[in-house]
Structure 1
């Protein structure tokens, strides 16, 4: 017995299954990516954007954290501009920034150039220069307090051995801020060194070899080849170190507590005293927004200067 099969042709009105095109694959990849980063994004936004908005409303109120707040409009900001303690803290912070940022850049470049040479134990030297940056800033401040102690500190012991006059260091109203800047440089120069070391190793060898073949000395190669290649990295480091200096708190807290006679009181430490020592949360929030605006202006100034010099970083 013969069995026959009838094949029915597909009707033209019957839809053909759609093929997944590039748009579908791109959408699937996007959804997969957001599935991974979405929870972290929500946490970051919740812990940064929301507190910042809430702090702005607090800055326009008189509130001690316990009793109901009273709206005062922009009075906190007007009072902040005329506050002598805030003006002094701003001056101290700007002095610290003006010394620390160029110093960290210059030391970072010099040390990175030295550590970019082929010498024995180079890995050990690179590790040693980065250790202070990894160490806690609080531990660094406590250790520095012992080193620069006027009575039994190691710094005065060295001065005695050299028959030089002893100094008061962190207990001197005229020296304390510069000693803190020195301690900050010691702790942060490892970061700039690592950044510049990576940038130096990324410079094409052909550029340096071509300059040497043309008869350029080592100094001219460094000045006309190496430094221009490091310009984008310098803009990034300048912005990063500016933010670090403007937000300095832990080192001041563990060494001088803003003293002697408020000579080392930075803006962040003054905000801490306003908010947590005197319970003036509204006024402290206004000072925090002042710091945010000042930091943003300085950072944008560095970025715009870098762009005018041809360094597109951000």
Structure 2
């Protein structure tokens, strides 16, 4: 007579069923959530990855957009080193960024402090500051052409009325890039102001009151208490505005188109010109990839520096 030594399965069934039921209860909400966001996520990721992969493949070929061209390897990237027009565009982008990014902080923060006061019609003032930002860059560029026109623009009309010499603005090679910086700040300053305004309202009032009780004047309280609390907001503003500066295109396209004398030709407009006007799509894609890497490195360095400052402030 053979005696079975297998363990009875009936005893472990309730425990296994409870474990399976618990796992289903934990997984079910996630499955429902992914069921809602999954299709949209696949579409967004697909629309992001496909152009990136296609642009990388294009940067390794001598393509004119109409045909795929021949495989040239890294030749497009090597040609960038010896391209004086690209160096000029990179220099214009650097000058623009060095003026635009600090300007966003130096103008945005005082405006936010002013708009953080309890005064009448404060909502109206905040709206006026933010309205230009929700306007498209194309519309701002077209408006700038009318306002800053050397012959018929309202700004030069006012200058004539004051007896001062008329300015070329966007048609003057020595002024055009700086005028673009000013127009960009007027258009986009609403975003830094809103970010700083939100950060200012998150600063605990007890800290400022304690500093004032200890004998600090309002400026000392702002410098030693409020400003350190704004470092995360400043890091975000600097990174966001730097990315915006490196990707400048719409405003240039609708105002100067890189002119006069290529004085406003920035990197993104230059690669657009190479890819869609000169039909050198492979070279344009290579420039775009290098710009992407530069943007990634600069953003990572700024984020790391901002995080380091934040830890130092916390310590």
TM range (shorter): over 0.9
Report the CA distance between 1:91 and its aligned residue.
Answer: 0.4
The change in CA–CA distance for 1:113 and 1:20 in structure 2 (over 3 A counts) is farther
Q: CA–CA distance in 2 between the matches of 1:12 and 1:231?
A: 62
Native 8 Å contact 1:246 1:267 kept in 2: yes
Partner residue, 2:267: 267
Native 8 Å contact 1:231 1:311 kept in 2: no
Task: Please show how residues 13-24 of structure 1 align to structure 2 within 5 Å.
Answer: 13=11, 15-16=13-14, 17-18=17-18, 23-24=23-24
- Residue deviations 1:123-162, cap 9 Å, x none? 1001110000001110000001111111111111222222
For the aligned residue pairs, the C-alpha RMSD in angstroms reads 1.6
Partner residue, 1:289: 289
The change in CA–CA distance for 1:214 and 1:154 in structure 2 (over 3 A counts) is same
Counting helix residues as a fraction of each chain, which structure ranks higher? 2
Mind listing any 5+ residue stretches in structure 1 that lack a counterpart?
1-10
Native 8 Å contact 2:61 2:68 kept in 1: no
Partner residue, 1:3: none
Task: Please show how residues 75-86 of structure 1 align to structure 2 within 5 Å.
Answer: 75-86=75-86
Task: Please show how residues 53-92 of structure 1 align to structure 2 within 5 Å.
Answer: 53-92=53-92
Partner residue, 1:39: 39
Report the CA distance between 1:257 and its aligned residue.
Answer: 0.6
Native 8 Å contact 1:60 1:72 kept in 2: yes
Native 8 Å contact 1:232 1:306 kept in 2: yes
Report the CA distance between 1:24 and its aligned residue.
Answer: 3.4
Report the CA distance between 1:299 and its aligned residue.
Answer: 1.0
Report the CA distance between 1:296 and its aligned residue.
Answer: 1.2
Partner residue, 2:95: 95
Native 8 Å contact 1:132 1:187 kept in 2: yes
Report the CA distance between 1:281 and its aligned residue.
Answer: 0.6
Report the CA distance between 1:62 and its aligned residue.
Answer: 0.1
- Residue deviations 1:260-292, cap 9 Å, x none? 011000111011111110111100000100110
TM-score, scaled relative to structure 2:
0.92
Partner residue, 1:144: 144
TM-score, scaled relative to structure 1:
0.92
The change in CA–CA distance for 1:175 and 1:22 in structure 2 (over 3 A counts) is farther
Native 8 Å contact 1:63 1:281 kept in 2: yes
Q: CA–CA distance in 2 between the matches of 1:163 and 1:153?
A: 16
